[in-house]
Amino acid sequence: MEIFPAIDLMDGSAVRLTKGAFDTKKVYSDSPEEVYARFIAEGARHLHIVDLDGARSGKTPNFEVVKRLAAMGGDTEIGGGIRDMRRAESYLNMGVSRVILGTAAVENPAFLKEALKEWGSRVAVGVDVLNGRVRVSGWERESRSDGIEFVKKMAAEGVKRVIYTDISRDGVMKGTDVGTYSVLAENKDLQIIASGGIGTLQNVMELIPTGVYGVIIGKAIYEKAFTVADAVAAGDGK
C-alpha cells in the first residue's frame, strides 16, 4: 500500500485543519519546500498537495508554491480550485504528475469528461464525504450525491483513481472507516486512496487488508506520532 504524505497550503504555508474547518487552521511551516524535501528524504514516493485557498475560492493563490514543489521532483498530485482545462493543463505542464478534480467533478461533468479524454490517468477525483454526502467548495457546501454511489459513477466515467476523504475523521487522528474502504476497494478498476483519520501506524496497517491502493497521512506526521519512513515501511509490510 502506497503512502501519500500531505502538504495542505494556505497563504503559502503548510497547514492542517480539523474536519475541514478553516477556523481550525494550524500552521506547521512557512516553508512548504522544506517540508517537501524532508518527506522525500524520509522515503516518500508520492506527495499529496492541496491548495486549500483554491478549493474554497476556485482560484489558484498558491500556484507559485506548487510550481516550486513540482520542480523538486517526485510523484505529485495537486487538488484545490482546478475547475477548467486551462488550469489543469498549467499544473500538468509544470511537472505535477496528476491533477485532482473535486468540486468540478460534481458540478461540471462535461469538464471531467474532457479532462479524462485529454489526460486519462493523470486525472484523479477527490470525493470528500460528510454524513454520507459529497461536499464541495472546500467542503463548505453539501451536494446531493451519495459518497459511495458517486464513486461508482466516477468508475463508470473512466476515472482510475479516487481519493475518498471521510471529513468527520479528517485531522482527528482516531482511525479510519475500514468498512467503507473495504467496500470501495472491491472495484478493482479503481485505485482507492483513503484519507482522514490516521493517527497511529496500526491505523495504517488496518487499511492494508481492505485492498486500497494508498493512504494519505497528514496531521499524524506533523504531530510526530510517527515518521514518513515508519509509514512507508508499514505500507510495504515491513
Residue of 142, 131, 74 whose CA lies nearest to 107? 142
Rounded to an integer, what distance in angstroms lies between the CA atom of residue 63 and that of residue 81?
Answer: 10
- Residue 36, C-beta contacts closer than 8 angstroms, at least 6 positions apart: 7, 47, 69, 72, 74
pLDDT at residue 20, rounded to an integer? 84
Express each pLDDT in 9-21 by its tens digit.
Answer: 999 999 999 988 8
Residue 24 confidence class, pLDDT cut points 50, 70, 90: very high
Residue 207 confidence class, pLDDT cut points 50, 70, 90: very high
Mean pLDDT for all residues in the chain = 95
pLDDT at residue 140, rounded to an integer? 85
pLDDT at residue 138, rounded to an integer? 83
The answer to whether residue 191 scores a pLDDT higher than 90 is: yes
pLDDT at residue 137, rounded to an integer? 86
pLDDT at residue 64, rounded to an integer? 95
Q: Would you please indicate which residues are annotated as catalytic (active-site) residues?
A: 8, 128
What is the maximum span of the chain, computed from C-alpha positions, in angstroms? 43
pLDDT at residue 198, rounded to an integer? 97
Rounded to an integer, what distance in angstroms lies between the CA atom of residue 202 and that of residue 110?
Answer: 41
Whose cell is 463548505? That residue is 140
Residue of 55, 51, 63 whose CA lies nearest to 9? 51
The answer to whether residue 238 scores a pLDDT higher than 90 is: no
pLDDT at residue 28, rounded to an integer? 97
Residue 84 confidence class, pLDDT cut points 50, 70, 90: very high
Express each pLDDT in 102-142 by its tens digit.
Answer: 999 999 999 999 999 999 999 999 999 999 999 998 888 98
Rounded to an integer, what distance in angstroms lies between the CA atom of residue 82 and that of residue 1?
Answer: 27
The answer to whether residue 206 scores a pLDDT higher than 90 is: yes
DSSP-derived pairing of the beta strands 141-146 and 214-217: unpaired
Fold of 2-235: TIM Barrel (3.20.20)
Rounded to an integer, what distance in angstroms lies between the CA atom of residue 203 and that of residue 118?
Answer: 37
Q: E strand or H helix at 52, and its extent?
A: helix 52-57
**One-letter amino acid for residue 147 of the chain:** G
Express each pLDDT in 223-234 by its tens digit.
Answer: 999 999 999 999
| 197, 177 contact by CB (below 8 A) | yes
Rounded to an integer, what distance in angstroms lies between the CA atom of residue 132 and that of residue 113?
Answer: 24
Q: Domain ranges for the chain, please list them.
A: 2-235
